Chains A and B, each alone.
Chain A
Amino acid sequence: MRGTISTRKLTLIAILTATASILFLFESFLPQPLPWVKPGLANAVTLLAVYLLDLPAALLIVLLRVALGHLILGTLFGPSMFLSLGGGMAAAIVMAGVHRFLPHLFSPVGVSVLGALTHNLLQLALVALLVVHSNRVWTLLPWMVVPAVFAGIIIGVVAWLLLQRVPAHSLAKN
């Protein structure tokens, strides 16, 4: 049935969107010793969405989370919102692709690390293309890759723990 969505899926999308928005806002209140380093807590929700639902749902959750989060922070349609959106969606696409096509190769930890790296790479590319119009920003790459890998591991472990506790019946993808 095209255009319809089960109540279970709708509810799960709503819960994950709310969780991701709260994590996103909580994270924005944390002190940031380096401006470009964030733990990316909301990425754990994207990872859950990829495992429990599907890519369109994960992209929808990213879109809603970014829009809600930036609306509340007062940066709606600002440059940082488009960076969040691009990074978040690219991470969702890569994580869904890895989960779908290489399901037994990576655990959630590896999928999360790849997602974190994608997030950072795309954000840096967007900054280079849209914000500063310079390739100089790529010198920041090592400062992003190293934290991204470690944040990715932690987020992956969190997602793995959550996946173990999610009741099996909510795994139904309809």
Chain B
Amino acid sequence: MRLCVRQIADLMTTADWLAVIAPLLLTAVIFLPNKSAQDGRRAVVEVDGQVVLEIDLAVDSTYYAKGPEGTAHLRIAEDEIWIAASPCRQQRCVAAGKIGRCGQAIVCVPNRLLVSIPGNAVRPYDAITE
């Protein structure tokens, strides 16, 4: 008896195909976003267009970035970075919260501060503050 792909395809029922495709799709949906989060290991801090800091998000720490308005406090924990304190008036960059994935960014316009996580996935900024 000759066995060919056609025969196997005939043998397989709709439920069979479901059993094959559903787990593959499910893992793709669940794990691919995490995969791109793997790329977001590094945050870049720019003041007035100049790169002033490059931060490894794997290490929990605090950084300071000096802009025209004053010094902003950057906190890093659990692979995420956020602006903990800012000298700006409206504090929208602080309210923007934590970012940790590629393409995400926090901008503080008065202080000319941009915190971004470079990566392949280009997304619109989650929040442009003030």
Contacts and interface: CB of A to CB of B under 8 A. Distances in A.
Interface stretch (A13-21, A23-31, A84-92, A99-107): A99-107
Contacts, number: 56
A107 B27 contact: no
A149 interface: yes
A127 interface: no
B15 A113 contact: no
A114 B34 CA distance: 25
Chain A interface size band reads 20 to 34
B27 A113 contact: no
Interface string B14-45: 01101110011001101100100000000000
Contact of A105 (B13, B27, B34): B13
B122 interface: no
A111 to B, nearest CB: 8
A114 B22 CA distance: 11
A37 interface: no
B9 to A, nearest CB: 10
Interface of B: 1, 3, 8, 11-13, 15-16, 18-20, 23-24, 27-28, 30-31, 34
